[in-house]
Amino acid sequence: MIQSLKKIIIIAPFNIFPPYWGGANRIYNLTKELANENKIWLLCNDYKQVSKEDSSCAELKELSSNPNIEIFFVKTRGKTSQIFNFSVIKKGLEIIKKEKPDFILAEFVWSGLHAIILNLLTKTPYILDEHNVEFIRFDRMNRGNKFSRKMLRFYEKLSCTRASKILAVSNIDSDFLVSKLGIKKDRIAIIPNGFDTKKFHPDENKVPEIKDQLNLGKGPIILFFGKLDYTPNYEAVKIIQNEILPRILKKIPDAKFLIVGDNPPSEFTHKNIVFTGMVDKIEDFINTSNVVISPLLSGGGTRLKILEAIACGKVVVSTTVGAEGIDQSQIKDFLKISDDWEEFSKEILSAISRKPSNVPHEFVQKYSWAQVSEKVNQVLNSTDKGV
């Protein structure tokens, strides 16, 4: 049976372009894939405002050229407007009055209040896409004071309670919502993160060029990538320099640590560490590496970087927190987990010496954005518009 086309307002609490980090990546790919079967209005609560560089990025041009997608950048006056911005409400009301959408898809809990207000004013049901369980993430990072974290927990529970459905990225996050916030399990759908199968696959075409450009030499390359001004990633760079690098260099003196991401910390320097800044095609740098690492001690959700690296055929060595929420049953040969830095380093050395193997087809099928978005479509089609 062919399902009828749905009309969806997607609210993003920030400008997602260019989508070079996890949350923006998820919103961009879900928007693109959902537009194959639905009409989308994407509202970006643009507290940073779109720069000339952002407005010319390929991903924005791609979505803007899709007749099923309309994008609005709603101007704001500061970061707190992620939680409440009257202009988002105003634009949302305009769209609802004219187009009568079936659902609001609120991205991150930070869009929850906008969705709640629009729901109260128009009865348009909303679905909350929980990229992380935010109050857990803030607790782990020791971010803010006790009162602010308590208020965040209250706000997150309210946002979940009012939603027609909650999308969680993993069973672990779903269990947090049930056990910590009292959300009924049947109101939660597991919608994992994914990767673009057209971009992320084994491909060595750019390897010689990147090695030559960055003067990486002939030794093995250990890659870490992410938004480097994000506290968990900053902590990971510190761990790489202080804990992992010395252990690896004892065994392989010419090994290089390639660290990719914007806003690299200037206080960490070593002749065997190469910072690149932000790059256009992270897949080329993954394919250049011998092994990818995720030495994270805080944060939340699931790491797109791990899925993307495995899709390129790379072994990923991660901490328990770094690999949280990822189903390991199909990828035991590709995902190695340790919270002891000595053991972590041994896993890196083992991965470097390992012969490449094929990525399981079941893994590619399960985590492709096309398959992930199909799960979202199933949620939309099974959720009562009248809720």
* CATH code of the domain covering residue 349: 3.40.50.2000
For residues 190 and 78, membership in a common domain is answered with yes
Q: Is residue 287 part of a domain?
A: yes
Task: Assess whether 184 and 213 both reside in one domain.
Answer: no
Residue 357 CA to residue 348 CA, distance in Å, equals: 16
Does 335 lie in the same domain as 260?
yes
Q: Are residues 31 and 110 in the same domain?
A: yes
The pLDDT score that the predictor gives to residue 49 is 58
Domain total for the chain? 2
What pLDDT shows up at residue 279?
Answer: 93
Q: Does residue 112 sit in the same domain as residue 38?
A: yes
Same domain, yes or no: 37 and 184: yes
CB count in 10 Å sphere of residue 251: 12
| pLDDT per position as a tens digit, 338-387 | 999 999 999 999 999 988 788 999 999 899 999 999 999 999 999 876 44
- 147 and 263 together in one domain: no
13-71 residue pLDDT tens: 999 999 988 999 999 999 999 999 999 999 999 866 566 566 678 999 999 999 999 99
Res 78 pLDDT > 60: yes
Tens-place pLDDT, residues 229-250: 999 999 999 999 999 999 999 9
Q: Are residues 248 and 156 in the same domain?
A: no
Q: Which residue has the tokens 């109260």?
A: 120
To 10 degrees, what angle do helices 369-382 and 22-34 make? 70
Q: Does residue 190 form part of some domain?
A: yes
Is residue 164's pLDDT more than 90?
Answer: yes
Q: What phi, psi does 293 have (nearest 5°)?
A: -125, 155
pLDDT tens-digit readout, 296-331: 999 887 799 999 999 999 999 999 999 998 988 889
CA distances from 178 to 53, 71, 181, 355, 364 (A): 42, 34, 6, 42, 29
The answer to whether 133 and 153 are in contact (CB under 8 A) is no
Has residue 109 got a pLDDT over 60? yes
Whether pTM > 0.95 for this model: the answer is no
Confidence category of residue 156, pLDDT binned at 50, 70, 90: very high
Structural domain contains residue 328: yes
**Which range of residues forms the domain containing residue 307?**
207-366
Is 61 part of a structural domain of the chain? yes
Shared-domain flag, residues 328 and 297? yes
- Show Cβ contacts of residue 70 under 8 Å, excluding neighbours closer than 6 positions: 40, 41, 42
133 and 31 in a single domain? The answer is: yes
Measure Cα distances from 6 to 72, 173, 366, 368 in Å: 19, 27, 24, 22
147 and 36 inside one domain: yes
Query: Which tokens belong to 205?
Result: 């075409």
* Residues 281 and 357 placed together within one structural domain of the fold: yes
Question: For the stretch 128-143, what's the b/e string if a residue is b when 16 or more beta carbons lie within 10 angstroms of its beta carbon?
Answer: bbbbbbbbbbbbbbee
